[in-house]
């Protein structure tokens, strides 16, 4: 514990004001690397130091990892009472409240939480049962549509009555989405399950439908509400916050911390308007801007300021750094994406040697996950260890979900997706055809599959199937009987053995089979660690080490919660995945028009602004070194595509760049290029032809050789300095009399020998 109030001495003036202003609505605009987490945690500690009980403080985050770190920091300041703060993700906090209050919204307290795989599986089943074309009613599109409806508080009934939504569905040739949504909601309710969106949607309904008892209870309980990464909240999350904070004579003790310039999750439903409009909703708001960057050197910070200045919808601020000028930003231009991968790997090897960096000090960021391949190849050639973020989660592996399926049924036997997964695994003579018949009987009787299974003898099935079903039902009932007597590890070990799952994977002696068996053991080890750990489960009143508590705990784990900080590997990830992280040296790859910014973003100003915020996030991950790379051609969808530099590169002034060699778009604040920004189009597009197109006849590629005088339709006269590359994709280095030196792919930018 820090003595007295010495924690305040660690803060700069603005940070201290934000920490000590605890009453009324507060907005903290936190630029990248500005000490946001410190301000948030010290603010909570300061509230406790003023005599407010820790359990009356609600702190909402977006990852469990952030919540844990927050509690650890608070505890260092105020001692063990810091552990009583209600700190957790929106989903984990609301899931806990919903378990307490489930009966008020027609659910049992042991409801299951469906993950993405479970949701997709149920939607796939419904589409199949309705006889719809799965290519038209693709599961991802339908799931996104349902998620969007819930995030905007549109119930299945309201959806069916919404003329605009129905018209959109008809125009996309998917007129039955409303029926799928209705059926999906009904089947979740029948299965005693909520998906991730339901944890927010049902929380709002709980508050909305119980204004006197429930709302008053939690308004009184949470006297102080704090929200981290507020720019990432959606309409529904903000609606719940306002339900808790806005009421007659409310002190409105709400503090939101975030950065509008880092709002990059519109595709998940996040809306930047929440933070932009916060002042309108709370006229007595006090705003604090954290503008000092403690992470990056000045060249990097200045470049970030320049880029984000092109967005009109923003809260004005100017971040600054006293970390020294540092290295200018390097622009790496490559002929192909393969060359880009090689040169980035070479630079990493060079920086490791020169600066004594570890692998984990580097990150390669890209706009799309498909770009990782070339970097993997060249990192492997240098024997540089790397990790790709955004891969399959441990808890999504088949063998893990198989065992978890049995555990979920022990808690909630009505869970349709868990039942469907394990009823015939390992095989017990209950095939897909038989299960489909059972499911149809359940649907016809508006009941769960489990209720039919329990009374299988009534439905005239063959004796073999009936006996198999009876054995399965007795197995699940055995697990249920031990639910209150055993802790999570004891029951999981019992289920792993008696279900046959562990034996099944132990019999498979292939490399894949051995890995799966090891993964199951790792799962059991993790459950044992959960049981034996002394760490409180977010709320001091919950000390339950049972299976229900464990399943809720893992259901709400995010990708970042699985990261191991001591893993010395180069990070390969999308820019979206990099938010909140920092590295000594960062490479932002694929800085090309229609890749970054993406082609889809060019259709709207808001889309382009979000892409620019994404670039801003990429830039500000770097502490010492930043390299922006692009290729003049790359493989996309199996074909070589000619590329031009991203217009975003032209928004960084020359003074912050190491060198550009005349290949970057021009910086402009007046003209509007093809991307819709205030930046002009690339130089190659702006130059007018020097000779009439009709009179220009390109020479064969074979005649373009070193030393020849040539002419280009736009760049004019020049001389070939070099020619390289595979046949058909040769690249010439030409120094033009006026346009300077350029490397151009001959088959696209044709040349005429003089």
The residues, ordered by sequence, that sit 6+ positions from 157 with a Cβ below 8 Å of its Cβ are 182
Helices 398-411 and 547-555 sit at what angle, rounded to 10 degrees?
130
Helix, strand, or coil here: 711?
strand
Beta strand extents in 371-483 (DSSP E only) = 386-388
Beta strand extents in 337-407 (DSSP E only) = 362-366, 386-388
Beta strands 583-588 and 622-636: pairing type? Answer: parallel
Q: Both tokens of residue 118?
A: 């479970």
The residue assigned the tokens 């002394």 is 534
How far apart (Å, rounded) are the C-alpha atoms in residues 311 and 116?
Answer: 34
Are the CB atoms for 668 and 678 separated by under 8 Å? yes
Burial of 148 (0-12, 13-18, 19+ CB in 10 A): middle
Q: Both tokens of residue 602?
A: 């060019």
> What's the sign of the alpha-carbon dihedral 460, 464, 469, 475?
positive
> What's the sign of the alpha-carbon dihedral 602, 608, 612, 613?
negative
Which residues are the active-site residues?
Answer: 36-37, 228-229, 262, 621
| Residue 130 region by backbone torsions, left for phi larger than 0, else alpha for psi between -120 and 50, else beta | alpha
Q: What are phi and psi for residue 8, nearest 5 degrees?
A: -70, -25
Q: Both tokens of residue 216?
A: 């008053």
Number of neighbouring beta carbons within 10 Å of residue 520 = 21
How far apart (Å, rounded) are the C-alpha atoms in residues 473 and 456?
Answer: 10
Distances (CA, A) of 279 to 18, 84, 87, 261, 283: 16, 31, 25, 17, 6
Q: Which helix (H) or strand (E) holds 488?
A: helix 488-498
């Amino acid at each position: 514990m820090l003595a007295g109030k010495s924690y305040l001495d660690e803060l700069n003036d603005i940070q201290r004001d934000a920490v000590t202003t605890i009453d009324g609505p507060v907005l903290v605009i936190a630029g990248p690397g500005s000490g946001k987490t410190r301000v948030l945690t010290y603010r909570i500690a300061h509230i406790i130091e003023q005599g407010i009980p820790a359990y009356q403080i609600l702190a909402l985050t977006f990852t469990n990892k952030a919540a844990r770190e927050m509690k650890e920091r608070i505890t260092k300041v105020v001692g063990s009472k810091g552990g009583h703060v209600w700190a957790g993700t929106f989903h984990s906090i609301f899931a806990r409240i919903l378990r307490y209050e489930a009966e008020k919204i027609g659910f049992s307290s042991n409801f299951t939480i469906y993950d993405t795989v479970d949701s997709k599986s149920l939607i796939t089943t419904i589409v199949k049962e309705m006889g719809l074309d799965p290519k038209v009613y693709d599961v991802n599109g339908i799931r996104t549509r349902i998620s969007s409806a819930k995030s905007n508080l549109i119930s299945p009934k309201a959806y069916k009555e919404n003329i605009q939504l129905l018209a959109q569905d008809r125009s996309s040739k998917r007129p039955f989405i409303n029926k799928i949504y209705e059926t999906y909601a009904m089947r979740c309710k029948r299965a005693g399950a909520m998906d991730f969106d339901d944890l927010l949607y049902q929380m709002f309904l709980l508050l909305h439908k119980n204004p006197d008892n429930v709302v008053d209870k939690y308004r009184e309980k949470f006297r102080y509400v704090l929200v981290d990464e507020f720019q990432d909240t959606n309409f529904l999350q903000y609606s719940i916050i306002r339900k808790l904070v806005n009421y007659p004579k409310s002190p409105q003790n709400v503090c939101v911390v975030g950065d509008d310039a880092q709002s990059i999750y519109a595709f998940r439903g996040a809306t930047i308007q929440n933070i932009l409009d916060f002042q309108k909703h709370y006229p007595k708001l006090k705003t604090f801007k954290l503008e000092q960057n403690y992470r990056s050197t000045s060249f990097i910070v200045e470049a970030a300021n320049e880029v984000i200045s092109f967005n009109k919808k923003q809260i004005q601020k100017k971040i600054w750094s006293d970390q020294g000028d540092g290295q200018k930003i390097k622009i790496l231009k490559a002929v192909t994406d393969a060359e880009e991968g090689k040169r980035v790997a070479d630079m990493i090897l060079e920086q490791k040697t020169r600066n004594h960096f570890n692998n984990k000090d580097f990150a390669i960021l890209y706009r799309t996950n498909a770009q990782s391949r070339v970097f993997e190849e060249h990192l492997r050639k240098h024997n540089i260890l790397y990790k790709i973020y955004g891969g399959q989660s441990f808890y999504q592996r088949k063998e893990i979900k198989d065992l978890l399926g049995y555990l979920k049924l022990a808690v909630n036997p009505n869970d349709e997706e868990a039942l469907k997964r394990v009823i015939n695994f390992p095989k017990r003579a209950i095939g897909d055809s038989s299960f489909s018949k059972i499911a149809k009987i359940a649907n016809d009787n508006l009941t769960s599959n489990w209720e039919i299974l329990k009374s299988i003898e009534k439905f005239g099935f063959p004796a073999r199937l009936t006996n198999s079903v009876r054995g399965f039902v007795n197995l699940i009932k055995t697990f249920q009987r031990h639910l209150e007597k055993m802790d999570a590890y004891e029951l999981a070990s019992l289920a792993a053995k008696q279900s046959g799952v562990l034996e099944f994977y132990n019999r498979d002696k292939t490399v894949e089979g051995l890995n799966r068996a090891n993964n199951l053991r790792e799962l059991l080890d993790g459950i044992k660690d959960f049981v034996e750990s002394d760490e409180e489960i977010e709320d001091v009143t919950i000390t339950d080490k049972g299976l229900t508590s464990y399943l809720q705990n893992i259901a709400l784990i995010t990708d970042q919660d699985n990261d191991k900080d001591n893993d010395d590997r180069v990070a390969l990830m999308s820019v979206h995945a990099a938010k909140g992280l920092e590295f000594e040296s960062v490479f932002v790859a694929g800085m090309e028009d229609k890749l970054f910014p993406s082609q889809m973003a060019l259709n709207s100003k808001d889309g382009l602004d979000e892409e620019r915020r994404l670039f801003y996030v990429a830039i500000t991950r770097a502490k010492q070194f930043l390299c922006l790379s692009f290729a003049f051609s790359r493989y996309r969808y199996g074909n070589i595509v000619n590329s031009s530099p991203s217009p975003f590169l032209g928004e960084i002034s020359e003074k912050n760049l190491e060198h550009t060699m005349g290949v970057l778009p021009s910086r402009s604040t007046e003209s509007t290029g093809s991307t819709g920004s205030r930046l002009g189009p690339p130089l190659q597009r702006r130059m007018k032809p020097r000779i009439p197109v009709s009179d220009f006849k390109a020479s064969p590629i074979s005649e373009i050789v070193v030393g020849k005088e040539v002419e280009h339709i736009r760049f004019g006269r020049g001389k070939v300095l070099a020619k390289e590359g595979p046949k058909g994709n040769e690249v010439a280095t030409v120094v033009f009399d006026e346009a300077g030196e350029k490397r151009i792919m001959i088959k696209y930018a044709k040349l005429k020998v003089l």
